[in-house]
Amino acid sequence: MAEVQSLEDAVRELVHDGDSVALEGFTHLIPFAAGHEIIRQGRRDLTLIRMTPDLIYDQLIGMGCAGKLIFSWGGNPGVGSLRRFRDAVENDWPRSLEIEEHSHAGMANRYAAGASNLPFAVLRGYLGTELMERSASTVARVECPFTGEELAAVPAIRPDVGIVHAQRADREGNVQLWGIVGVQKEIVLASERSLVTVEEIVDELEPRPGAIVLPTWSVTAVAEAPRGAHPSYAHDYYDRDNGFYQEWDEISRERDGFTRWMEENVL
């Protein structure tokens, strides 16, 4: 049974220095509120995992929370670079950042393997690319035992903590989300501990087209966080704040300006 608690308490109980943490949400339902709480609590040396780091990891990286990043596409969608991510990779600011880089298909399969309690996943991919060499410790070749065909293998990802945002939970902690569902289910099921922030807690989860439900017993903690995905969006609650994604390019351009903005708006 998931414990329904405050965001602050949930993050304090679940996220510790040095943990591997995946805050997922494929463009939709990105758990910004939870990421900000991690920053406020001053976590350090996290291994951050996310297919598309997006602004939330730009902020975590810029604030020095991360020692390592596992990812597959590190841009500001529709805008350009993630400047704090680049500053860390190119100039080790505010600290060096180890990276482990994969393709989207590789990451999605690593999560699915984690959710399935398998040590690895098999896919067509990587062969011929330099990711195969650069991420050699996490990409291998396997041979089909029936056809002899050569395929790529990637190790499962099983984070210490998986965090996602969803539209709703009921009072028992059953979670419902819809729209683009991304890898939300996979990351909750792949993680040792999980936190779901929700737009609202309701008496009953009415069935809706395209919705998936995570039963309360598959989740560790649920916390109410209205607008907790902003500037990302929550389908049927609020739209993506495209303007903020544009502004972020300017806010994050210089180290000082970034730090000041974080102090004023997040800390």
Partner 1 sequence: MSEDFTADELMTVSSARELQDRTVCFVGIGLPSTAANLARLTHAPRTVLVYESGTIGSKPAALPLSIGDGELAETADSVVSVPEIFNYWLQGGRIDVGFLGAAQVDRRGNLNSTVIGDYDKPKVRLPGGGGAPEIAAMVREVIVIIRQSERSFVEEVDFRSSVPATGDMVVITDLGVLRRQDDELVLTRVHPGVSVEQAKEATGWDLRVADDLDETDPPSDEELRVLRELRSALEEAKA
Smallest distance from a second copy to CB 79, Å: 31
Q: Which residues pair with 234 in a beta bridge?
A: 238
Rounded to an integer, what distance in angstroms lies between the CA atom of residue 132 and that of residue 139? 6
247 class by beta-carbon count within 10 Å (0-12 exposed, 13-18 middle, 19+ buried): middle
With CB under 5 to 8 Å by kind, the binding choice for 4 among partner 1, a second copy, none is none
Restricted to residues 106-125, the positions that interact with a second copy (CB under 8 A) are 117-124
- Chain positions 97 to 116 lying near partner 1, rule: CB under 8 A, are 101, 103-105, 108-109, 111-112, 115-116
d(C-alpha 180, C-alpha 28), whole Å: 6
Residue range at the interface with partner 1 (CB under 8 A); choices 9-17, 39-47, 55-63, 215-223: 215-223
Contact 21, 191 (CB under 8 A): no
Interacting residue with a second copy among 79, 132, 151, 180 (CB under 8 A): 151
DSSP labels for 66-129? EEEEEES--EETTTEE-HHHHHHHHH--SS--EEEE--HHHHHHHHHHHHTT-SEEEES--TTS
DSSP state of 251: H
- Residues 15 and 160: their CA atoms lie apart, in Å, by 8
Tell me whether the omega of the peptide bond preceding residue 94 falls within 30 degrees of 0, making it cis. Answer: yes
Contact string 185-204 vs partner 1 (x = CB under 8 A): xx--x---------------
Enumerate residues 187-246 that contact a second copy by CB under 8 A. Answer: 207-211
233 binds, among partner 1, a second copy, none (CB under 5 to 8 A by kind): partner 1
Q: Is 78 exposed, middle or buried (0-12, 13-18, 19+ CB in 10 A)?
A: exposed
User: Nearer to partner 1 by C-beta: 20 or 52?
Assistant: 52
**Minimum distance of partner 1 from residue 151's CB (angstroms):** 10
Binding residues (CB under 8 A) for partner 1: these are: 1, 26-28, 51-52, 71-75, 77-78, 81-82, 85-86, 89-90, 101, 103-105, 108-109, 111-112, 115-118, 123-131, 134, 174, 179-183, 185-186, 189, 210, 212-215, 217-218, 233, 235, 239-240, 242-243, 245-246
